[in-house]
Amino acid sequence: MSTTAQHKVVDSRGSFCPGPITDLFKAYRNSQLGDIIELLATDPAAKADVTAWAQKSGNELMDMIEEQGYLRIIVKITKKRS
């Protein structure tokens, strides 16, 4: 089994709550510690939802970038039950 960290882009643009956070959870379910998930979202609620999830779960919110018309949210998986 590979232990190399993966970088996955999850494109939830055009999807509204709970679409982006649900898409993030799907990627989280398939991730390993150290993986990076980059969530692209047009739903403004994604900002607060992902921030709250990262704080509660102990995963690392690395960056949140306002792109032209969408958010780019970068999360590092640092907490996951193994």
Partner 1 sequence: MQRVVVIGSGDGGTFTANLLALELRDEIRGGLASVQLIGEHLKHPFQPGNLDVAFKGASPDKYVKDETDLLRKEVEFIQDPAVRIDLQGRSVTTKSGRTLDYNFLVIATGAVADPSKVPGLSDGALNFHTGAVDSQRIWESIKSFQGGTIVVAIAGTPHKCPPSPNEAAFMLDEYFHKRGIREKVNIKFLTPYPRPYPAEKISRVVEPLFKERGIDVSTFFNVDAVDPAAKKIYSLEGEVVQYDMLIAIPPHHGADVIINSGIGDEDGYVPTDRGTMRVEGQEGVYAIGDATNIPVSKSGVVAHLQSVVVAHNIVSEINKTAEFLEYNGRINCPMEVGSHRAIFVSATYTSPPTDQTPSVVKYLMKRSFAMIYWRALNGSLERIFDGFFGQTRFPLQIENKEVKSVVGAEAAAGKAGQGR
Q: Which residues bind partner 1 (CB under 8 A)?
A: 15-19, 21-22, 25, 28-29, 45, 48-49, 52-53, 56-58, 79-81
Q: Nearest approach, Cβ of 28 to partner 1 (angstroms)?
A: 6
Annotation says 3 is catalytic: no
- Of 5, 9, 11, 17, which one is the catalytic site residue? 17
Bridge partners of residue 36, in order along the sequence:
7, 76
Spatial CA neighbour of 46 closest among 7, 8, 10, 6: 10
Q: Nearest approach, Cβ of 9 to partner 1 (angstroms)?
A: 15
Structure tokens at 58: 């102990």
Bridge partners of residue 8, in order along the sequence:
37
Residues that are catalytic: 17
